[in-house]
Amino acid sequence: MQAQGKDQGSAIGNVVKLLGAAAVTGVLVAAVALPAVGGAGITVNATTDELRLLPEELKEPPLPEKTTLLDADGKQFAQFYFEEGNRESVKLDQVADIMKTAIVAIEDYRFYEHGAIDLEGTFRAAVKNVSGGGVIQGGSSITQQYVKLVLVNSAETKEEQDAAQAPTLSRKLNELRYALAVEEKYTKSEILERYLNISYFGAGAYGIQAAAKRFFDKPASKLNLWEAATLAGAVQNPSMTDPSRGKAFRDRLLQRRNVVLARMAELGKITPQEAEEAKKKKLGWKDIPAPGGCEESDFPYFCLYVRNELLINEDFGKTRKQRERTLHRGGLVIKTTLDRQAQKASEKAIREYVKTSDKPVASQAMVVPGTGAIKAMAASRKFGTNKKKNEISYNLVGDVAHGGGGGFQAGSTFKPFTLLAALDQGMKLNDGFATGSSYNAPSYGAFRDCKGNAVGDPKHPVFNSSEGGGGFKTLTTGTLGSVNTFFMRLEQEVGLCETVKMAKDLGIKRADGKPLREVETFTLGVNEMDPVTVSAAYATIAARGTYCTPIAITEITDRTGKSTSYKPKCKQVLDEEVADAAAHIMSGVFTKGTMTEVGGIGRPAAGKTGTTDAYTAAWFAGFTPDLASAVSLGDPRGAFKHDLTGVTIGGRYYDYVYGATISGRIWKYSMLDALKGVEATPFTPVNMDRFGGCSGGRCAPKPPPQPDRGDNDGDRGDRGPFSPGEDGDDPNGGTFWPGNDGDRATTGSVPIVTQ
């Protein structure tokens, strides 16, 4: 067949020489001209040089195909494509013979007999076009059609696409030059294979395999006579015979199918009886959904994250244009970090506390400390565009760069950044100071952003919750109680900019992509965040100060079979012992802090609740040495307009929703299931020589002397009712009660430690 293609290409050259340029020009003009009488036809002004019909190599970039996503174990969980990516290229022997017969019969019945141009067909088309006063019949061979489709697919702009289809003589001549080269390069079977794989059949199906599945729910190898005739008929004008567009379009496709059947019988490819029987068949349109959208994935938010990561990460192309081209062409197999056990654990816990029909939405991300691998991304709402079903069309778990929205204010989950800054500056576990029930900046200059601007606001008081007063708080008790006034004073001590820098070192950035708000109340979490970012920040503490950029992709195999691996990007951003001290303090949240009622997970863990001002959002973020996670809860309609007071969520009514109320419970039960089978890893013990006790000037005041009661029981000795603790957990030595900013596990009255 290869020799035949070359011989026919040479034959065409000989014919051109025999006919002369003028004859060829006449043929081409007649074949492509618009009505010659009464209408505006194409003006031909070609020189002999322009008609130089010598083979010219055609650049054939890979056809767009779907991209497949695999989980960490190599099991597929999603596939997506862009525009023409709903395609699955197949070999010609994977296409039913009757399909090959049908397409050749209707598009180019002399395909195996002529070269790049079918002169007989061209003359026949020319005669009909001229006699009919317009374009009634085309003269393009399958090879020419293939060339045209390649040029259209190669175009990167609309202007280039228009030029590839323009009804001009110069375009037609270029097409012929390319066709001559194609006939020399490939056999007829190879050309037909490529044509079937590149052609558009309508209904979003590119290529014969995708069309067979989309139209009839079967592979191209299983097509029968009337199905093959249907698809062969569809390629002529797919937009006008697209069965997904309605009954009128299906009726036109049925008529076109019958035209193909009649042509096949006329050429003797089938009998007249076979044609008539096939014409009696219904269209058979199955309307199988085109695969490829993240909305069809079992894990759509993870799919969205990966798709957007491919567009923004320079690892996948130096420029955005290169990355877009890679994504557009597709054909990639992407192995991800998705862990089905963790993913299902997250989904199960969320379903337990928040319904898909609820307006407030819960979302969660799980990240591995020391690698940044995202193990799970889940949310309470279904992903989609159906508002009646309460679906949501953006990535609730990620930031805007990964297809997400604006996020929710992080609340008290930001307080650990101030804690870390204090420890990094040398403060000890029992260092502290007296606080009141409210706090006012002593001056405008008491807080300065990282540009040196004074951003303190002495006129703006910060309060604890309505039940709370003040008292002496330490790094430990202030953190476990999540005391607002204490953290405002602590941020004043260590510096706003130092706190901001600490947060940034741990990867903190706003979900909406805007600069962080470096304001006085930064430590109280006034910036909107997403669960992936917060999880990765807390994973840094778990990894003893090693921050790893969140990673969702570990390997990409391109369409040629070449694989590229992607390693974690990590760096030490924090003193290991500082991270250990913070983990030590934060581990008390489950036994002596705001998660006391919810409890821990039966292994070393640490975390922080986050309830925002006016209950606009509720968070819990926490970690073990093996896994970190953050859960947010808020109303995407507008957190300030639709706060979490007097709401029914998951079928339960809440007067107020705190960080531990729902988010904390989702965190607990999802982590329990996600870590099943994983041996517990202990935290590195805190260096008490460095962080134990308190430093001069920051120790708790000595309690007033108590009346001598005889000490008859011998238990208390000379100790008063409160004695400073030595483990850093409670300097008062007595029962520790949660603090007073509202970050508590219950909605009841909470006793406040006062001095």
Residue-wise pLDDT for 577-613, tens only, equals 999 999 999 999 999 999 999 999 999 999 999 988 8
Per-residue confidence band for 42, with pLDDT thresholds at 50, 70 and 90 = very low
Instruction: Kindly tell me if the per-residue pLDDT of 648 is higher than 80.
Output: yes
Radius of gyration of the chain (CA): 35
| Sheet of strand 563-565, all strands in order from the earlier edge strand to the far edge | 76-80, 67-70, 333-336, 553-557, 563-565
CA distance 604 to 592: 15
Selected residue with higher pLDDT from 736 and 355: 355
Residues listed for the chain: 755
> Strand, coil or helix: what is 78?
strand
> Of 486, 495, 496, nearest to 432 (Cα)?
486
Instruction: Kindly tell me if the per-residue pLDDT of 753 is higher than 90.
Output: no
Which pair of structure tokens corresponds to residue 660? 């531990």
How confident is the model at residue 123, as a pLDDT?
54
How confident is the model at residue 696, as a pLDDT?
80
Q: Which CA distances in Å does 448 have to 416, 452, 462?
A: 19, 5, 17
Q: Which CA distances in Å does 318 have to 321, 325, 519, 626?
A: 9, 12, 35, 33
Selected residue with higher pLDDT from 44 and 336: 336
Strand-pair category, 67-70 with 333-336:
parallel
> Under a CB-based contact definition with an 8 Å cutoff, are residues 13 and 120 in contact?
no
Residues 163-189: what's their mean pLDDT? 87
Contacts of 730 (CB under 8 A, 6+ apart): 476, 477, 592, 736
Per-residue confidence band for 466, with pLDDT thresholds at 50, 70 and 90 = very low
How confident is the model at residue 54, as a pLDDT?
82
How confident is the model at residue 308, as a pLDDT?
92
Percentage of residues in the chain having pLDDT higher than 90: 65
Instruction: Kindly tell me if the per-residue pLDDT of 749 is higher than 60.
Output: no
How confident is the model at residue 43, as a pLDDT?
37
Residues 727-732: what's their mean pLDDT? 37
Residues 382-405: what's their mean pLDDT? 90
CA distance 542 to 544: 5
How confident is the model at residue 313, as a pLDDT?
93
- Mean pLDDT is lowest, of 49-58, 411-420, 503-512, 630-639, for 49-58
Q: Tell me which range, 172-181, 253-262, 280-289, is most confidently predicted by mean pLDDT.
A: 253-262
- Which pTM was predicted? 0.75
> Of 508, 535, 609, nearest to 368 (Cα)?
535
How confident is the model at residue 25, as a pLDDT?
45
Strand-pair category, 563-565 with 553-557:
antiparallel
Q: Is 439 left (phi over 0), alpha (psi -120 to 50) or beta?
A: beta
Instruction: Kindly tell me if the per-residue pLDDT of 46 is higher than 60.
Output: no
Per-residue confidence band for 728, with pLDDT thresholds at 50, 70 and 90 = very low
Angle subtended by helix axes 142-154 and 169-185, to nearest 10: 110
Selected residue with higher pLDDT from 212 and 714: 212
How confident is the model at residue 507, as a pLDDT?
98
How confident is the model at residue 52, as a pLDDT?
61
> Under a CB-based contact definition with an 8 Å cutoff, are residues 184 and 55 in contact?
yes
> Backbone phi, then psi, for 86, in 5-degree steps?
-75, 75
> Under a CB-based contact definition with an 8 Å cutoff, are residues 179 and 143 in contact?
yes
Q: Is 417 left (phi over 0), alpha (psi -120 to 50) or beta?
A: alpha
How confident is the model at residue 386, as a pLDDT?
84
Instruction: Kindly tell me if the per-residue pLDDT of 208 is higher than 70.
Output: yes
Which pair of structure tokens corresponds to residue 174? 């270029």
pLDDT tens per residue, range 97-147: 999 999 999 999 999 998 767 666 555 554 544 444 433 344 589 999 999
Residues 303-323: what's their mean pLDDT? 91
Domains, the chain, with CATH or none: 2-279 (1.10.3810.10)
Amino acid at residue number 101? T
> Strand, coil or helix: what is 284?
coil
Q: What is the largest CA-CA distance in the chain?
A: 130
CA distance 458 to 443: 6
How confident is the model at residue 61, as a pLDDT?
81
How confident is the model at residue 378, as a pLDDT?
97
Selected residue with higher pLDDT from 152 and 456: 456
Q: Tell me which range, 79-93, 114-128, 373-387, 488-502, is most confidently predicted by mean pLDDT.
A: 488-502
How confident is the model at residue 122, as a pLDDT?
58
pLDDT tens per residue, range 414-465: 999 999 999 999 999 999 999 999 999 999 999 999 999 999 999 999 998 7
How confident is the model at residue 754, as a pLDDT?
27
> Of 562, 560, 561, 532, nearest to 548 (Cα)?
532
DSSP secondary structure, 550-598, as one string: -B-EEEEE-TTS-EEE----EEE-S-HHHHHHHHHHHGGGGTTSTTTTT
How confident is the model at residue 356, as a pLDDT?
95
DSSP secondary structure, 608-643, as one string: EEEE-GGG-EEEEEEE-SS-EEEEEEE-TT-TTTS-
Selected residue with higher pLDDT from 289 and 343: 343
Selected residue with higher pLDDT from 117 and 413: 413
How confident is the model at residue 384, as a pLDDT?
85
Q: Give the number of other Cβ atoms within 10 Å of residue 43's Cβ.
A: 9
- Mean pLDDT is lowest, of 2-16, 499-513, 614-628, for 2-16
Q: Is 339 left (phi over 0), alpha (psi -120 to 50) or beta?
A: beta
pLDDT tens per residue, range 261-307: 999 999 999 999 999 999 999 999 999 877 667 888 999 999 999 99
How confident is the model at residue 15, as a pLDDT?
41
Selected residue with higher pLDDT from 62 and 641: 641
Which pair of structure tokens corresponds to residue 244? 């997904």
Per-residue confidence band for 735, with pLDDT thresholds at 50, 70 and 90 = very low
* Mean pLDDT for the chain overall: 84
Which pair of structure tokens corresponds to residue 412? 């008290």
Per-residue confidence band for 86, with pLDDT thresholds at 50, 70 and 90 = confident
Instruction: Kindly tell me if the per-residue pLDDT of 55 is higher than 50.
Output: yes
How confident is the model at residue 524, as a pLDDT?
95
CA distance 618 to 747: 14
How confident is the model at residue 84, as a pLDDT?
57
How confident is the model at residue 709, as a pLDDT?
53
